[in-house]
Amino acid sequence: MPSRIFVGMRKPLTIVLLLLGAGLLLCLLAYPFGYDQAVFAVAGELSIKHGAVTYRDFLDTKPPFIFTIYGVAIWLFGHHEWAPRLFDAIVQALTLVYFYRVLLRSTKDTAVAFGSVLLYIVLYVTSGFWMTGQAETFALLPIVWILSLSEQARNGAHALSKGILVGCASAILFLLKFTLLVVPAGAVLYLVLYSDDRTYRNSIRFAFGAVASLGILLGVVIGYMSWAGALRPFFETLAWLSGYAGIDPVLGAHTIGELYFRQFPIAVVTALLPTTLVLAFVGIFRNRRSETKPATIYSHLLIQLGFGLFSVLYERKFFPYHFSRVYFAFVPFVILGTRSAWELKTEYLSSLRNLRGIQRTLRQTAVIGIAAIAVFYSPLVRVVTNPLYWAQLRLKGGDVGAAADSKFGGLYYADQERAASELKSALRPNETIFLWGNNVGLYFRTEVEPRTICLTNTPLVTSWTPQTWKDTLLRQLQTAPPRFFVCETNDARPYITGDTLDSRQHLEQWSELASFVHTNYHDWKTVGHFVIYEHQ
């Protein structure tokens, strides 16, 4: 199988590299949940097990498809943290085989295709437990599908039907994250820019098919939300997102000076790493200056790289996982740059043979020093600090909670475990809990689903929160009071809420909710950063 798929590579080397890549993907199973993964898992179980509708039955500002993915994964593999990770590893493996075939068909270059797949695995898995399993993660499959369809359309293969399929893939991207629609936009631009008089009409047909099918599918989604009673809260969510975006306005002085020109470059280097960035620049330059006619897919990838980085810049939240949307367009240029660097290294070493004495020693020392620096700032170091670290910790039965908290402050993983243990031992059948906080892994660990619209409280504590959301939450709590009301402390999210208050301070600031708690509950126990009240 490997020798047939990866044509032109030696079978033993192919098998070894495949096993290493598969081993890295399997290390995902050792990763604990971060804040986002816990939200996706809890909302996913609500969606798949109980038929909950996003926006109507629970509040979150992300599109609904990521919750569906997590819900399906847990339904398939069970209520475990590793269940979505296993699903992720399987999806990534299958998609990367597809990515390999698309690159090989378009570039006719086995080394670039195979190297891109391996480097993608390394960049993705080594980004860490918080940065994997995100919406951008599962966008890879529709993105590669769009790449393949646009390449086929450029070659004159049924442009209209390919465009219609691109619209379908675009709908999936939209339901994962709104800004991912830059991918089909980049595909349309690529076809327009690289079409001639003979193929220009094909580009128009492609664009029309993509826009028409995307519009129809989004119309179906909106119709479903209207039928399900989720349309009004969906529009309220869009209005909430507008207020969220207003914390750092697109053209505000602070946004331009601080985010665009200071934080964004640092985030790019942090996410894509200095060594691979340098190699990518070399690969782009050498590809554009190549004496032979380069494959046009490189132009498409360059457009996608630019569009993807622009979409991250527009979002103005520069966590490393935001940049994973451009890995697919980034890695082929890194491989091209690596090939160029290897060729230069060979020429350089050949020139050393003509040198003698101190000059030769200095040049050899320089080569070794540059190589050491390049390795240190490459993904290889992160292989040790992320996948290998978590794999050995799980195998040894180490303290995952303490390790997670040491890597990310404010996660309170260990506190969640201890609080969940206390609550599970006290809860009787059909009794519930309510979390007023951010780390909803507490629901996952107690195996008690939320009974209100509130997952995390961040959508409910901002100055631009719709009053209907607050009224709904209070009504639900008063109608069916949970036995335990859990309030988190020291969990401020200023980049979301626009203030520095934690959940306990937000509780006291909301007088109606505070009155409900103080009237109906008494202090039961404090576990770390979780203050637990029991219904009287």
- Check if the beta carbon of residue 153 is closer than 8 Å to that of residue 199: no
How far apart CA 367 and CA 423 sit, in angstroms, is 59
With contact defined as beta carbons under 8 Å apart, do 318 and 312 qualify?
Answer: yes
| Per-residue model confidence (pLDDT) at position 482 | 97
What is the model's pLDDT at position 123? 97
Beta-bridge partner residues of 434: 485
Q: What is the pLDDT of residues 54-86, one digit of tens each?
A: 999 999 989 999 999 999 999 999 999 999 999
Q: Please give the C-alpha separations between residue 261 and each of 258, 297, 450, in angstroms, as whole numbers.
A: 6, 30, 41
Q: Where are the alpha helices (DSSP H) in 273-430?
A: 274-288, 297-315, 327-352, 357-376, 379-383, 389-395, 400-407, 413-426
* pLDDT at 358 (0 to 100): 76
pLDDT of residue 470: 97
d(CA 162, CA 53): 31
Q: Report d(CA 440, CA 450) in Å as an integer.
A: 9
The DSSP call for residue 535 is E
Question: In this predicted structure, what is the pLDDT of residue 292?
Answer: 65
pLDDT at 14: 82
* Alpha-carbon span 222 to 227, nearest angstrom: 9
The C-alpha atoms of residue 19 and residue 200 are separated, in whole angstroms, by: 44
Residue ranges of the chain whose pLDDT lies below 70: 1-10, 197-198, 290-293, 345-356, 360
If we measure between CA atoms, which residue out of 472, 154, 200, 87 comes closest to residue 300?
Answer: 154
Amino acid present at 105 = R
Q: What is the reported pLDDT for 293?
A: 66
From the CB of residue 62, how many other CB atoms can be counted at a distance below 10 Å? 20
HEC secondary structure over 328-341: HHHHHHHHHHHHHH
- Residues 6 or more apart whose Cβ sits within 8 Å of residue 179: 311, 314, 315
What angle is formed at CA 153 by the lines to CA 148 and CA 157, rounded to 5 degrees?
Answer: 110
3-state helix, strand, coil in the chain (%, to 5): 70, 5, 25
Q: What is the pLDDT of residue 323?
A: 97
Which residue has 């630019």 as its token pair? Answer: 306
Tell me which amino acid residue 78 is: G
- Residue 73: what pLDDT? 98
Q: Whole-angstrom Cα distance, residue 490 to residue 33?
A: 19
SS3 state at 440:
coil
Task: Provide the pLDDT for residue 3.
Answer: 37
Would you state the structure tokens that stand for residue 175, as one six-digit string?
A: 């339901």
